[in-house]
Amino acid sequence: MPFTKLFGNAASALRNFNASRRKKSIEKLMANSRDFEAKLETEAKRFGIELRRLKTGNYYEVLGIKYTADTAAIKEAYHGLVKKYHPDVSKEAGAEEQTKKINEAYAVLKDSKLKEEYDKNSFKGDTYISADATMCISRELMRKYTEVRNRDFEQFREITSVPLRRNDLMAAIEDVCNWNRRFDKVANATFGNFRAYGKRIKKLGAINKKMLKNEKEEAAIEKLKENGSRLDELVVVWGKVDKGISVVAKKVKEDIGTQELVIAKKLRSLV
């Protein structure tokens, strides 16, 4: 076989091999993306949070107004945005789709009954967590914290059931009074998976962008663009929910602290 033909065959085989390897890499990336998206969805639902609903866009965010905005503010925001995004006047990409969202949001928020129902069952304000989800998270945190606290106090009773030197007693009291550490452990156990899955999705998004930058095949580019868009959207939504969870957790921690400081004061008075 002539050398040139042999070289050509080898080059062709190498191209096919690389193409096959890229295809498998893309398939693996997309499979991982779907897997972690499903895990994130499942974890969020455990707290009564619907990520899919958040991804459609909060009506208040669409109009660029606060949850506390009155009817006049809602109307003013609507007319201003319609003038900006209406397809007949706007040259911005996605203007038609944005106009549909604006009209949908206004149709609900301008109607007092629809607005009341939306507010009741939607994500609002700066927390991005509905009232029902807030209550669910609060209950879950309190339940788990109570379990851990009861366990710690039981251990404390066992330790102090026999005479102790003053320093040992002080150490035992300080240990059981360290409610901040106890709460942080409970919060990490409660939200650890949700945050881990979100970080994983963010990492997959970065990998997706890197692969897209080096990809040449049109079909693969389209797949990577679609996958990357979905991951980017999830990262944004995850960040909003994580912020909302942090707000709820902070409030629960403050409530727990108020109770625990009273207990700690009584225990320290024993020394």
Going from the first residue of the chain to its last (271 residues), give the mean pLDDT of each consecutive group of 10, the final group possibly shorter.
55 54 91 96 91 76 87 92 80 76 89 85 68 90 96 95 92 95 96 96 96 90 92 91 93 95 91 78
Domain limit, last residue, from 122, 140, 174: 122
**Residue among 195, 194, 200, 202 nearest 228 (CA):** 202
Q: What pLDDT was estimated at residue 68?
A: 86
Q: How far apart are CA 180 and CA 33, in angstroms?
A: 35
How many domains, in total, are found in the chain?
2
pLDDT for 93: 65
Q: Which amino acid is at 113?
A: K
Residue 21 placed within a domain: no
Domain residue limits at 220: 27-55+127-271
Please tell me whether residues 107 and 166 are part of one structural domain: no
Domain end (from 122, 139, 167): 122
Query: What pLDDT does residue 17 have?
Result: 44
Same domain, 118 and 186: no
Quote the pLDDT of residue 161.
Answer: 93
Single pTM value for the model:
0.73
Predicted local confidence at residue 16, as pLDDT: 52
Distance of CA 109 to the CA centre of its chain: 25
Tokens standing for residue 1: 């076989």
The reply to whether 34 and 165 lie within a common domain is: yes
- Give CA–CA dist 268/256, Å, rounded: 18
